[in-house]
Structure 1
């Protein structure tokens, strides 16, 4: 099936929805963003990858007040893969309650499901130094 402009819009909105659901505390709705068996790779933060949408919701709840108060996503770039999946790369900005902020890159594999596009794999790369660490 051809990758259309409508697909681009749906996937961009899907990636954006993650922040809205997290910021509003609607973690039980993460199945609207991720496949049931999603791999959410947070190893760049020293943690094991989260396996499944329930584990993602539980991790968000466990962070409690340490969660950012705002998740913003921008600079979404979509590339169609040969198998019909889509590779999505985007920037994330997290704003904390104390006013500090952090930046990440999301590397997503997006899959067309009977319920629409869903993220099946997400790897988060934290940014800690300018110019990709090359000073």
Structure 2
């Protein structure tokens, strides 16, 4: 991570988009992923879902037989790369069908677009 400061307005908007990803996924409204992911999204959750490009990511989420019930994003750190790009580090807890809880580290790249901040890359490292 670059440790370049991000202005508070952008930092809040970036954190908001990370939270919105969780809400869209939890509602299983995958056709809304374009509201939070950039068209060039690269998504890497080893052993579960790896896809590139918005259409492929949407299709991959739709194909998950037992999606998580509830995602909780915590400990968000936002570092600027430049005025239109930031790197984010956060932790996530996911409640799965049947009651299992999983934890992970999210490493996101977010990009400023004409529509606002969007996640352009997400790499997930499962914990535990």
TM-score of the two chains, using structure 1 as the length reference:
0.85
Greater strand proportion: 2
CA deviation string 1:63-88 (max 9, x = no partner): 13x11111111110001114641010
Structure 1 residues 63 and 46 mapped into 2: Cα distance closer, same or farther (>3 Å)?
A: closer
1:21 to 16, 24, 27: 24
* Deviation (angstroms), 1:97: 1.7
Structure 1 residues not aligned, in runs of 5+: 129-135
**Runs of 4+ deviating beyond 4 Å:** none
Q: Is 1:11 matched with 2:14?
A: yes
TM-score of the two chains, using structure 2 as the length reference:
0.89
Q: Is 1:50 matched with 2:54?
A: no
Where do 1:1-135 residues align within 5 Å? Answer: 3-42=6-45, 44-45=46-47, 49-64=50-65, 66-82=66-82, 84-128=84-128
Conserved? CA contact 1:45–1:126, under 8 Å:
no
Structure 2 residues not aligned, in runs of 5+: none
| Aligned length in residues | 124
RMSD: 1.7
